[in-house]
Amino acid sequence: RKEVEQDPGPFNVPEGATVAFNCTYSNSASQSFFWYRQDCRKEPKLLMSVYSSGNEDGRFTAQLNRASQYISLLIRDSKLSDSATYLCVVNPRYNFNKFYFGSGTKLNVKP
Amino acid sequence: GAGVSQTPSNKVTEKGKYVELRCDPISGHTALYWYRQSLGQGPEFLIYFQGTGAADDSGLPNDRFFAVRPEGSVSTLKIQRTERGDSAVYLCASTMGAGAGANVLTFGAGSRLTVL
C-alpha cells in the first residue's frame, strides 16, 4: 500500500470555479503535511504547509483530518495560472527527514 | 548559491554506460536529498545526506546506484551500467536540516536522464 494516495485527475474546470482535491495517507504517525505545486517539466515547489487547525493563503485553503487520515486543498476563483499538478507530501513523526510524495493531481483551468 | 543547481539538465546515454549527476545545494543547507521522478508519478526517495554522511540510502533501487557528498556540500549521484528503466528525472533537494526550515524542501530543476 502506498504511503500517500491521490486521484490523478485531470480535473478540468472553468476559470472562476472552485475545485478541491483530497489526499489520503496510510501512516497514522505522520506528523507534517504539505502541498507542492509542479508545473509541466519543472521542479516541485512548496505551495503551503497544512496545519492541524487548517490554514488559508489567499485563494488556497488546506485542511487536515487526522481521524480519517486525509488532507485537502481547496482552490477558489481558479485562474488559468493555477493549471499544474498538485503533489501531496507527508512527513512521518518517526523519521523527521523522510518525505513521502503522492503521484499528484493534475488541474487544468480552462478559459 | 541562491538556489539548488543541478547538472547536466539533460543527459542521453546508451544502455550499459556510466553516468554522474551533480547537485549543488543552497549554501548553508546541511540536508540534501535525491529523488527520482518518472512520468506521471510523484518523486520517489532515493537517498538523504546530513552533512557528509548518507543518513538514509534505503531508496536506492540496487547497487548500481551510489551517491557521495564528500565535503558536505555538492553531491554526485552515480549510476553504473545504466538500463532503460533508469530513464527518469533525477531531482535534488536541500533543506536547512534543523530548525524552522528543516522540513521545507527546495528542489533543483532536475537532471533528465534518457537511456537508449
**First-to-last C-alpha distance (Å) of chain B:** 33
- pLDDT tens per residue, range A6-22: 999 999 999 999 999 99
Q: Quick check: bond before A92 cis, omega within 30?
A: no
Does residue B91 register a pLDDT over 90? yes
Residue in A96, A99, A103 closest to B105 by CB: A99
Does residue A3 register a pLDDT over 90? no
What's the rounded mean pLDDT across residues A49-72?
A: 93
- pLDDT tens per residue, range B2-49: 899 999 999 999 999 999 999 999 998 889 999 999 999 999 999 999
**Confidence band of A28 (pLDDT split at 50, 70, 90):** confident
Q: Which residue has the higher pLDDT, B99 or A92?
A: A92
Distance CA B25, CA B86 (A): 23
| Residues on chain B touching A96 (C-beta within 8 angstroms) | 102-103
Does residue B112 register a pLDDT over 80? yes
Burial of B47 (0-12, 13-18, 19+ CB in 10 A): buried
What average pLDDT does chain B have? 93
Does residue B102 register a pLDDT over 90? no
What's the rounded mean pLDDT across residues B59-72?
A: 95
Q: Which residues contact B68 (CB under 8 A, 6 or more apart)?
A: B75, B76, B78
Does residue B116 register a pLDDT over 60? yes
Q: What is the per-residue pLDDT for B44?
A: 95
Does residue A24 register a pLDDT over 80? yes
What's the rounded mean pLDDT across residues B81-96?
A: 96
Q: What is the per-residue pLDDT for B20?
A: 98
Residue in A4, A43, A98 closest to B91 by CB: A43
| Residues on chain A touching B45 (C-beta within 8 angstroms) | 98-100
- B42: distance to nearest CA of chain A, Å? 4
Q: Which residues of A38-72 are buried (b: 16+ CB within 10 A; e: fewer)?
A: beeeebbebbbbbeeeeeeeeebbbbbeeeeebbb
Q: What would the grid cell of residue B41 be?
A: 508519478
Partner-chain contact A103 B102, CB within 8 Å: no
Q: Which residues contact A99 (CB under 8 A, 6 or more apart)?
A: A89, A90, A91, B33, B45, B103, B105
Q: Indicate left, alpha or beta for B16 from its phi (over 0: left) and psi (-120 to 50: alpha).
A: left
Distance CA B2, CA B28 (A): 11
Helical ranges in chain B per DSSP H:
none
Partner-chain contact A97 B43, CB within 8 Å: no
Residue B67, helix vs strand vs coil: strand
Does residue B97 register a pLDDT over 70? no
What's the rounded mean pLDDT across residues A54-61?
A: 95
**Confidence band of A95 (pLDDT split at 50, 70, 90):** confident
Q: What is the per-residue pLDDT for B1?
A: 55
Distance CA A26, CA A3 (A): 5
Burial of A8 (0-12, 13-18, 19+ CB in 10 A): middle
Q: What would the grid cell of residue A94 be?
A: 518517526
